Amino acid sequence: MANLLDINLNRLVVFVAVVETGSITAAATRLGLAKTMVSTHMQKLEAEVGSNLLVRTTRRLHLTEAGTQFYEACQKILQDTENAIAQANSNTRQLRGKLRISTSIDYGASVIAPLAAELSKQHPELRIDIIASDHRVDMVAEGIDVSIRIGRLADSSHKAALIAPFDEWLVAAQDYFPEGLPQVPEQLGGHSIVGLSVLPNPLNWTFTRVGFASVSLRFRAAIMANTSLGVQAAALAGAGLAVLPDYALKDDIASGRLVRLLPEWSLPGGGIYAVFPASVQQSQKVSVFIAALKQRYS
């Protein structure tokens, strides 16, 4: 039987990273180590525990029966260790280490970056990495602690916390309707829209109102953009109608640069969510970040 004193417990972190990312190379990227070092850790760990934990194929690593049991135990050990460290530090509000946040480009620039600046001032030993992309990232493979997703959340194996709901507004430039604003959805027929191309159906919208039948319209595409900022800029320039979250429009509405159309009618809306891997217990850093983000909408 292997003696605990003969096992380098740091290798448990490497082993869990290899299992969760599915390869030596991905684990090395996640941990910031050389691929050869990760491979060496795995070889030595198997020697230390006295059992084969992984079956190596040309494409992917697979757990042996012993490896599956050992992985489950390692997860619990690491989670208990993180909890113990958090408990030991519970008498201070100071956060330390790295927090990796994934977000869209627009939301990252307008909300997450300013919030990160505030948290950095409050917690000087906290390092925040913002990974901004309009393409969904593999949270486990990329070592993401929390991902901000906006819209209607798809089914996922990850956990999610609702930060805040939002409404979607149909808007146009101030002078887009020189002869008067439309009063019912049917009057929008034939108008072009600036579509957000990352949406599943950026040209199809359904309007609802209490006491009225819902109205579904398909608009012509004037311009397609893959960011909300691009859609907003084109709408401000008079390129067409646009559907955007209310939180992104309030300044332009207040200044009169954009006009909200059909305010009595509702569009589907959505939510701002903080998503994190189900296999990882929510850390104190993630909890503080989520609480700070919710505070912005309270």
Q: Taking Cα atoms as reference points, which of 193, 261, 183 lies closest to residue 222?
A: 193
- pTM to 2 decimal places: 0.63
pLDDT at 86: 63
Q: Which parts of the chain register pLDDT below 50?
A: 91
Q: In this predicted structure, what is the pLDDT of residue 282?
A: 64
Residue 22 pLDDT: 84
Rounded to the nearest 10°, the torsion over CA 240, 241, 242, 247 is 120
Beta strands in 177-214 (DSSP E): 192-196, 204-207
Q: Are 217 and 207 in contact (CB under 8 A)?
A: yes
Question: How does DSSP classify residue 208?
Answer: B
* Block residue for tokens 């006009």: 259
51's CB contacts (< 8 A; 6+ apart) are: 64, 66, 67, 70
Spatial neighbors of 289 by CB under 8 A, at least 6 apart, are 99, 101, 115, 119, 146, 274
For residues 173 and 258, the answer to whether their CB atoms sit within 8 Å is yes
- Domains in the chain, start-ordered, CATH in brackets? 4-88 (1.10.10.10), 97-164+271-297 (3.40.190.10), 168-268 (3.40.190.290)
Dihedral in degrees, nearest 10, Cα atoms 42, 47, 52, 53: -40
Is the dihedral angle over the CA atoms 233, 238, 240, 243 positive or is it negative? positive
Indicate the SS3 state at residue 29.
Answer: helix
Tokens of 45: 């760990």
Distance of CA 286 to the CA centre of its chain: 12
